[in-house]
Copies of this chain bind each other. A is one copy, B any other.
Amino acid sequence: MPTLVVLDLVGIFVFAISGGLVAVRKDLDVFGVLLLAGTTGLGGGFLRDLLIDAAPPAALADWRYLVVPAVAGLLTFGYHPTLGRMERTVNVFDAFGLALFCAAGALKALDHGLGPVPAALLGMTTAIGGGILRDLLAGRVPVVFRGELYATPALAGAFVVVVGVELDLSRELVSVVGATVCLTWRLLALWRGWQAPRPPGMASV
C-alpha cells in the first residue's frame, strides 16, 4: 500500500480508539461508541478532503477506511478495561493519531498542489480536527484548548514533512521523521507537564 494510505489507516485506528475510550467514559451504548470512534477516526481526514476538494473523501470510496474505525470501536467497546487508566490512555492514542495525521495531511495537501505553508497548516488541521470533533460531540473542552502543547507539535511534524518533500527526500523517510518529531514533542509535553505562555496581565484578573 502507498505511504499515504498506511499513515491514514493507522492514524484512523488509533484516533478511533481514543474516540471509543471517551465514549466508554461517558457511559455511551455500543452505537455511541462506534459513532464517536468513527467520527474521531475519520473527522480529520474528511475535513482535509473537503478543504482540498478531494471529493468524495477517500473514506467513502474505499472500504478499508470504514472497516478500520468499526473494528477499533468494537475492540474498545469489548476490551476497554484492559486498556487501563482512561485519561492517560486516551492521550497516548491521541498523540499517535496526531503524529500520523499531521504527516498524512501534509503529504496529501502537497499532492493536491498546495504550497508549503498551506500544506503544513492543513497537516495540522487534519491532525487536530478529529480530536476537536470528538471533544465537541462528547461535551468536553477540546483538548487543543486545555493549555497543553497540542497543535504546535502537529504543525512542527507537518512542517518537517513539507520541507523533506521540497528537498526531494523519500516520502516514507520524511513521514517517519515528521511523525516522530510530532509524537516525541507531544508525549514530552504530556509527561513533563509543559505549558505554553499565557497572556500577560491575566494573573491579576
Contact = CB atoms under 8 A, between A and B. Distances in A.
A6 interface: no
Count this chain's copies in the assembly.
Answer: 3
Interface in A17-72: 23-24, 26-33, 35-36, 46, 50-53, 55-57, 59-61, 63, 66
A105 B141 CA distance: 30
Q: How big is the A interface, by class?
A: 35 or more
B51 A57 contact: yes
Contact of A149 (B27, B31, B57, B197): B31
Contact of A33 (B24, B35, B199): B199
Contacts of A36: 145
Contacts of A121: 60, 66
A125 B29 CA distance: 18
B60 A151 contact: no
Which residue, of A51, A57, A136, has the highest number of chain B Cβ atoms within 10 A? A51
Interface in A97-154: 112, 114-115, 117-118, 121-122, 132, 136-139, 141-142, 144-145, 147, 149-152
B151 A24 contact: no
Given A29-B195, A32-B147, A150-B31, A56 B141 contact: no
A84 interface: no
A202 B117 contact: no
A60 B51 contact: yes
Given A35-B145, A78-B200, A136-B136, A60 B114 contact: yes
B63 A117 contact: yes
Given A27-B199, A28-B199, A35-B145, 20 more contacts: A27-B202, A30-B196, A30-B198, A31-B150, A31-B152, A31-B196, A32-B145, A32-B196, A46-B51, A50-B51, A50-B55, A51-B60, A52-B60, A56-B118, A59-B118, A61-B118, A63-B117, A66-B118, A77-B199, A139-B141
